[in-house]
Amino acid sequence: MHVLLTAGPTYEPLDPVRFIGNRSTGKMGYALAEAFAATGARVTLVSGPTALPTPANPLIETVRVETAQQMYAAAAAVAPRADVWVFAAAVADYRPAEVATEKIKKQGDTLTLTLVKNVDIAATLGETKRTEQFSVGFALETTNELLHAHDKLLRKNFDLVVLNSLRDAGAGFGHDTNKVAVLDRVGQVLTFDLQAKTELAHRLVQLILSRFTAVYAS
């Protein structure tokens, strides 16, 4: 079993000092990597910038990246030979059209930035997914959560999507706990109450592997 797993944020540079990013810590993705490895699976962990230590487990190969384009390149190199894909990273949707070579100096009352769309890693790789491969995405929504998550599942060719909501206390970015709902292609929704991300990771891995086994057997 070989698992491709993305985790953490991406940083899109404005200049040598500043970047566009988000509040992802990578904790959920790293917990998933450890949980997959605990089952004996080999894991390629493509990690954006985080303060988390590199996993010491010999079954986990960590590839450090910074930008969305770098994450895509690293994931695309592994995806064809991986059995399971898990996209837990919080990838920036846009990046600055131009990156200044020197620190941008403060001038005037406003600063206008032109942003261009980043590659959609999960959707692009989803176009190449083979029938024997299994893909899992993560969605963080603030409104119409189930509707948007199901739409993402279809658009990106996921088999499961794990939905986080910022409305839930103790869940989402920066916490050691999480509460999620998992949607599948037939509209079934499974909920996991608030619990430690390490514990939740093991439960999600059990679910993913059971669904993967069912798909592979068919």
Instruction: Give the full edge-to-edge strand order of the sheet including 177-184.
Output: 60-64, 42-47, 2-7, 84-87, 134-141, 160-165, 177-184, 189-196
Q: Is there a domain that residue 172 lies in?
A: yes
Q: Is there a domain that residue 103 lies in?
A: no
What value does the mean pLDDT take over residues 151-176? 86
What value does the mean pLDDT take over residues 78-103? 97
The whole domain housing 210 covers 2-97+110-217
Distance CA 148, CA 137 (A): 12
The residues that are catalytic are: 22
Distance CA 165, CA 171 (A): 7
Q: Is there a domain that residue 137 lies in?
A: yes
Q: Is there a domain that residue 104 lies in?
A: no
Q: Is there a domain that residue 49 lies in?
A: yes
CATH number at residue 32: 3.40.50.10300
Q: Is there a domain that residue 115 lies in?
A: yes
Is the pLDDT reported for residue 216 higher than 70? Answer: no
Percent with pLDDT over 90 in the chain: 84
Find out whether 134 and 83 touch, Cβ atoms under 8 Å.
Answer: yes
Query: What does the block give as tokens for 52?
Result: 């988390």
> Average pLDDT, whole number, for the chain?
94
What DSSP string describes 138-153? EEEESSSHHHHHHHHH
Q: Residues 123, 204, 162, 173: is their CA dihedral positive or negative? A: negative
**Count of Cβ atoms closer than 10 Å to residue 159 Cβ:** 19
Per-residue pLDDT at 11: 98
Q: Is there a domain that residue 105 lies in?
A: no
- The domain total for the chain is 1
Per-residue pLDDT at 169: 73
Q: Residues 23, 25, 28, 29: is their CA dihedral positive or negative? A: positive
Residue keyed to tokens 């500043």 = 18
Q: Residues 196, 88, 139, 19: is their CA dihedral positive or negative? A: positive
Q: Is there a domain that residue 134 lies in?
A: yes
Query: What does the block give as tokens for 173?
Result: 């970015």
